[in-house]
Amino acid sequence: MSLILAAVTASTAFAQEANDASSDDLDLEEIVVTGIRGSLKQAMDVKRDARGIVDAISAEDFGKFPDTNLAESLQRITGVSIDRVNGEGSKVTVRGFGPDFNLVTLNGRQMPTSGLEDTSASSSRSFDFANLAAEGISGVQVYKTGRASIPTGGIGSTINISTTRPLESPGMKATIGAKAVMDTSREGTSVTPEISGLYSNTFAEDKFGVAVSGSYQKRKLGYNQASAGWRGAFEGTQNDWGTLPQIPDGGTEADINVTNRPGAGDYYSTTQNMAYSMTAVDRERINGQLTMQFRPVDTITATADYTYSQNKIGTERHDMSVWFNHGNTTSAWTDGPVAGPLLYSEDFGASPSDLSFGGVEFATKNENKSLGFNVEWTPTDNFELELDYHNSSAESGADSPYGSNVALGTASFSLQSQSVDFSEDFPVLSITQIDGLTGIDPSRIVSTGSSFRNSYMRTDIEQAQFNGSWHFDEGIVESIDFGASYTENKVRSAYANVQRDTWGGAGPASDLPDDIFEVISVADKFDKLDGSDNAALFNEWVIYDFETMVGLIDDLYGVCGGNGQCASTDWQVDRRTTEESFAAYFQVNASWEVSGNPLNIVAGLRYEDTDVTSRALVPIATGTQWVAANEAVVVFSPEQDFTELKGSYDNWLPSIDIDFSPLQDVILRASYSKTIARPNYADIQGGQTINNIFRIGGGTGSQGNPGLLPFESTNWDFSAEWYYDDASYFAVGYFDKKVKNFIGTETITATPFNLPNPFGGPRYNDAVAAVGSDDLVEIRNWIFANADPSTVEITGVDSNGDTTGNILGVAGEDPTLEFVVNVPSNQRSAKLNGWEFALQHTFGDSGFGAILNYTIVNGDVGFNDLTNWNQEQFALFGLSDTANVVGFYDKDGLQVRVAYNWRDKFLAGIIQGEYAQRHPNYVEAYGQFDVNVSYDVNDQVTVFLEGINVTGATQRNHGRSENTVLWATQAGARYNVGVRYKF
């Protein structure tokens, strides 16, 4: 097992590591690890000898990382859990704090992040580990508590990725590896290649060194998914559209076709839509790094490095869906207080509904670049200085002329009734059709609507850091560390959508040739989900070639202007933010003995000052019109422009780490720190937008707030470690976090664009006086009859004899229109605490061993399921218990590792929108088995087999009730067979 679950001391900077493992600063890359058992012994030694608390992972050998994915390795550390995308680790949660609350650095440098959302501009700061290949990485360190010398931005953790430095391991080393990847999650499974290589060498008596690494991976995968959307939640006595019918006075549930109807105090959601989908993904990933080092004299080391990664992901999805109108429904429910549906059905009678067949294409390209320079100078034996600079970028955008996310709709308007059985893990859809149809008739399918969405995000970071350390030969103070840094973080996020809303049908069915559609079955796509063998399942859907369909509807209806270039860069959302941060720190490292036992302390203080400038593209309002009795509209220019807002904040961040060894094999640790994480980019955007419709009381709008303070966490950590054998130990830790400045919403009154309010002024007041009342219809009639004709637009007379038309707001005469504007604000706090348990045991010289760890996370920020949909809630996403069980064998060149990773149920987010209405997204408990077997044929050649998710575990998400399924996903196992040659 190659995890170094170790506590190591941070140096004055990540890159400034000392060579002596017994000194204050431990260089993980100095540990030469070959094989599972050797790795574990080194892990225990590092953990026992270190100061501070930093968990880490190290390469097992040159060019050999424990897992094929960095996130997959990180999840085996206590307190770390991951989110999987396309069956692979993508983003991490540490001690209950999700991806946006964890900072990722590369060789101590803050890395830019970028990623795309499906239907909106991205606002996330999270780092996607799937962009990086593991083969070029020498180690990863997870700093769970704050340290003055560590960059800020993570209150869950700061995760540093280390790459190869040739002068730290002199001589020629090289390795090349090749894998054949087979992913069973995709039909028609094919074998795809993965090739990697790493070369490092030193020259001129080890004064000059070069390291080059590269990897190429092509992967085909897929997954099938059943999904449902929900309306509500509703309280049992509510009587609104979408709710269940109320039992009439003197009636029974039979009168409303409801079994076990939720009552007063119960909450439930009704089905809005239900779908089955089949997704195929093609991914191509390229990674490369070049590092050059020069040490002309022993006291100076200069390093230049360039890192590049590119990740292209092409996804094609086909789905079949039905929508509910909440008319003539029949349903059955579980008991409250959170009631879930067992059955929900609707009969459309003489007005058949649509059975929809969608096609979706995602085509994205993520590109990361980092160029860095570093100089370390040791002018004396006691004095060290370091200067580090880098310029890095992350860019994500469309990799298709159609855009980053495209949805095409087709449908057969033949549904007479539809029913969904939610009683098992897999929701079972049953339908009846008009004209006695029992299957899908392609000749009835018409083209409907389409959305050509285009997203873009780019982040550029320019950072300069200066670090120093002064070492003392005598006294309890061993060294003093100090430093300063400047960071400029520039972010742009944009989004555009070209949408055709012909969802009722764009043309006759004869426009689409029947042979473009292929009828396939449903059940065999979900054979691992309970309920998929239900005989009532409607077991057909249709698929079609996506590009052929785009070309066809473009020719027919001009959805892309007739030239196939559908992606728009006429951005509807365009947000640009610049953060400039200055930081300085001071840190003292001290050591002495208490009753003959060593006591070590690292204490420091960090200061940060940040200025934020945000600009956003917003519609320009030019006027107002009073269009109906109590309804008026804002008139917008066809042009847009940027609005700018600014903010600033500073933070003092103390930290202290203490470790004490009361017995030879026992170490006690305690840490205190304050750490920060910054708000997402949407909350600090510069735009102020106003809604189109306003009333007599004024208008509404929203804006960002660059003046938001960062989340600030006060952290306490305690741990006890017992090293009871040569390569065995037991450790238990407790952590407590109190976090303030979580973001809510407040309202302010503003007058954007200084628009005239037609509900006021001389004209309005004269009308009120003339009609003698506040009847808005009468007031409008008077204004139409008596006001300056140039300030009104009369369109006619309605059936009541009242004048219809528009009353124009008059600048300079009417009062200024006021808007109630929603603004993000710091207003909430949260408390988290938890326990971490870790056991590592080797069974003598047998070659066998095991690792067990378990993490418990508790918090006071959960989602309350017993609330109405319109009540705003605050909850922290990602809180869950996690566990790892690893068994291994390492002897005589044979290495076997079987790992089981489990994560308990957790809240992944709150789904909001037109239909979701603040619906919780709970990810159900999930466990996965991974297997790794390798054999050293000789000193140079190793053959290996890797299996990921070998049991084909499925995943399921639900809402307030387990029956309100959101997604039920079936993927499959992935196997890698390969060979590695070491020169």
Q: State how far the Cα of 810 lies from the Cα of 814, in Å rounded to an integer.
A: 6
Task: Let me know: does 767 contact 783? Beta carbons within 8 Å.
Answer: yes
In angstroms, how far is the first alpha carbon of the chain from the final one? 23
The pLDDT of residue 60 is 63
- Peptide linkage before 337 cis (omega within 30 of 0): yes
The pLDDT of residue 21 is 32
Q: Answer yes or no: is 100 within a domain.
A: no
Largest separation between any pair of C-alpha atoms in the chain: 102
Task: Let me know: does 170 contact 207? Beta carbons within 8 Å.
Answer: no
The pLDDT of residue 26 is 33
Task: Let me know: does 224 contact 294? Beta carbons within 8 Å.
Answer: no
Tokens, residue 538: 């409607």
The pLDDT of residue 913 is 61
Tokens, residue 46: 């590092």
Where is the domain boundary, 531, 555, 579? 555
* Residue (of 369, 470, 403) closest to 112 by Cα position: 369
Q: State how far the Cα of 898 lies from the Cα of 850, in Å rounded to an integer.
A: 10
Q: Could you identify the residue written with the tokens 């005598």?
A: 474
Query: Which helix (H) or strand (E) segment is 776 a member of?
Result: helix 776-786
The predicted-structure confidence for 618-655, as pLDDT tens digits, reads as follows 999 999 999 998 899 999 998 889 989 999 999 999 99
Q: Could you identify the residue written with the tokens 């009734």?
A: 417
C-alpha separations of 669 from 12, 24, 95, 319 in Å? 21, 15, 18, 54
The letter for the amino acid at 223 is Y
Q: Answer yes or no: is 720 within a domain.
A: no
C-alpha separations of 602 from 12, 51, 108, 470 in Å? 11, 8, 19, 14
Q: Answer yes or no: is 870 within a domain.
A: no
The backbone torsions φ and ψ at residue 48, rounded to the nearest 5 degrees and listed phi first, read: -70, -35
Q: How crowded is the C-beta side of 291, counted as CA atoms within 13 Å? A: 25
The pLDDT of residue 39 is 75
Phi-psi sector, 309: left (phi>0), alpha (psi -120 to 50), beta: beta
Q: How crowded is the C-beta side of 615, counted as CA atoms within 13 Å? A: 8
Q: State how far the Cα of 823 lies from the Cα of 584, in Å rounded to an integer.
A: 32
The pLDDT of residue 6 is 39
Domain that holds residue 762: 756-815
Q: State how far the Cα of 18 lies from the Cα of 22, in Å rounded to an integer.
A: 9
Instruction: Give the 3-state secondary structure of residue 572.
Output: coil
The pLDDT of residue 452 is 93
Task: Let me know: does 690 contact 808? Beta carbons within 8 Å.
Answer: no
Residue spans of the chain under pLDDT 70: 1-34, 59-66, 189, 561-565, 913-917
The predicted-structure confidence for 811-837, as pLDDT tens digits, reads as follows 999 999 999 999 999 999 999 999 999
Where is the domain boundary, 815, 848, 865? 815
Instruction: Output the DSSP codes for 346-406.
Output: EE-TTS-EEEEEEEEEEEEEEEEEEEEEEEEEEEETTEEEEEEEEEEEEEEEE-STT-SEE
C-alpha separations of 364 from 31, 66, 115, 215 in Å? 39, 28, 9, 20
Q: Could you identify the residue written with the tokens 């600033």?
A: 648
Q: Answer yes or no: is 873 within a domain.
A: no
Q: Answer yes or no: is 519 within a domain.
A: yes
List 198's β-bridge partners, or say none: 175, 213
Instruction: Give the 3-state secondary structure of residue 857.
Output: strand
pTM to 2 decimal places: 0.89
Total residue count of the chain as it appears in this document: 983
Q: State how far the Cα of 90 lies from the Cα of 99, in Å rounded to an integer.
A: 10
Q: Answer yes or no: is 745 within a domain.
A: no
Question: How many independent structural domains does the chain possess?
Answer: 2
Q: State how far the Cα of 278 lies from the Cα of 525, in Å rounded to an integer.
A: 8
- Peptide linkage before 379 cis (omega within 30 of 0): no
The backbone torsions φ and ψ at residue 552, rounded to the nearest 5 degrees and listed phi first, read: -65, -50
The letter for the amino acid at 466 is F
Where is the domain boundary, 513, 539, 555? 555
Q: Could you identify the residue written with the tokens 């009104």?
A: 792
Q: Answer yes or no: is 439 within a domain.
A: yes
Q: Answer yes or no: is 211 within a domain.
A: no
* Residue (of 877, 852, 540) closest to 680 by Cα position: 877
